[in-house]
């Protein structure tokens, strides 16, 4: 038992010695680390004051620069807006002036002219030969024919009669050859030229028949029945000669 107590004392002593050795080693290491670290510099109060003032000055300068930049941007924007407004106003004034000059120029070019008096339509001149034939009682168609030429060939015809139709063609050809007017009067129905001629002559010849008129309203020749163009041409030529000998109107 005494041996166990003695052994326990040796173990405790060895443990304490090992602990002391470890503590000594740790303390040595800490001292070496502290010796290699740079020493802390303690600034005097005066130097601290100067550094603080310099930092504040730099901060104020930065703030002033930012404020100045903002003011410059704002001033430039205001100036740009003012220039744009002035340009718009100038353009509006120029446009108004141009419009005023154009209006004045138009007003100067306006010429006030008096309205032209309305001319009355001229009355158509009535041909004297036409008026004379109408006054004598001839149909309007024959009056127009005598207004055109001194001699008019009037053919009494009927579409119901083939011979009368053939005679009408010959009479028209003969009148054209002689230079006279030609009028066809159909007896197929009452009224119109048939009625006027019947009233003037008292009795109208049976179709076919050829009547040769001269101015102003003279029945010069009556050719009953069928007459070819040669006969009609000769009758019209004779009428022209008679009208020239006694007529007072120029030939047409």
Question: Which DSSP letter does residue 179 get?
Answer: T
Tell me if 154 sits within 8 A of 210, measured CB to CB: yes
pLDDT at position 249 is 43
SS3 content of the chain, % helix, strand, coil (to 5): 65, 10, 25
Separation between Cα atoms, residue 98 and residue 87, nearest integer Å: 16
pLDDT at position 250 is 40
CA distances from 23 to 30, 37, 123 (A): 11, 22, 154
Separation between Cα atoms, residue 206 and residue 226, nearest integer Å: 11
- Cα 196 → chain centroid: 60
Peptide bond into 12 cis (omega under 30): no
Separation between Cα atoms, residue 174 and residue 139, nearest integer Å: 22
Question: Which DSSP letter does residue 159 get?
Answer: T
- 137-246 CATH, one of 3.40.30.10, 3.90.1150.10, 3.40.50.2300, 3.40.50.1820: 3.40.30.10
What would you report as the CA-atom Rg of the chain, rounded to the nearest whole angstrom?
72
Residues constituting the chain: 252
Task: Collect the ranges in the chain with pLDDT lower than 50.
Answer: 38, 246-252
For 251, phi and psi rounded to 5 degrees?
-75, 155
Is this prediction's pTM over 0.75? no
pLDDT at position 6 is 73
pLDDT per residue as tens digits for the range 89-142: 677 767 777 777 777 667 665 555 566 667 776 667 889 999 999 999 999 999
Domain ranges of the chain: 137-246
Q: How many helices (H) and strands (E) in the chain? A: 7, 4
Which residues have CB under 8 Å from 197's CB, separation 6+? 138, 139, 142, 154, 185, 204
Strands (E), 118-164: 151-157
pLDDT at position 26 is 77
**Of the candidates 34, 52, 33, the residue with the CA atom closest to the CA atom of residue 43:** 52
pLDDT at position 33 is 61
């Amino acid at each position: 038992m005494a041996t166990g107590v003695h052994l326990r004392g040796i173990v405790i002593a060895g443990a304490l010695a090992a602990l002391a050795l470890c503590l000594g080693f740790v303390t040595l290491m800490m001292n070496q680390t502290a010796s290699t670290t740079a020493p802390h510099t303690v600034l005097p109060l005066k130097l601290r004051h100067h550094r603080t003032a310099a930092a504040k000055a730099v901060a104020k300068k930065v703030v002033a620069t930012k404020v100045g930049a903002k003011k410059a941007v704002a001033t430039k924007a205001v100036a740009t807006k003012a220039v744009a407004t002035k340009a718009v106003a100038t353009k509006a004034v120029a446009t108004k002036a141009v419009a005023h000059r154009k209006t004045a120029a138009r007003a100067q070019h306006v010429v006030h002219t008096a309205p032209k008096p309305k001319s009355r339509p001229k009355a158509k001149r009535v041909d004297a030969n036409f008026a004379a034939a109408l006054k004598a009682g001839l149909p309007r168609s024959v009056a127009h024919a005598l207004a055109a030429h001194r001699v008019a060939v009037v053919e009494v015809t009927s579409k119901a009669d083939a011979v009368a139709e053939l005679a009408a063609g010959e009479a028209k050809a003969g009148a054209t050859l002689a230079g006279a007017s030609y009028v066809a009067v159909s007896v197929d129905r009452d009224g119109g030229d048939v009625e006027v001629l019947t009233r003037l002559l008292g009795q109208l010849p049976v179709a076919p028949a050829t009547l040769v008129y001269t101015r102003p309203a003279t029945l010069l020749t009556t050719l009953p029945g069928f007459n070819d163009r040669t006969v009609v041409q000769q009758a019209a030529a004779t009428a022209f000669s008679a009208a020239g000998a006694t007529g007072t109107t120029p030939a047409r």
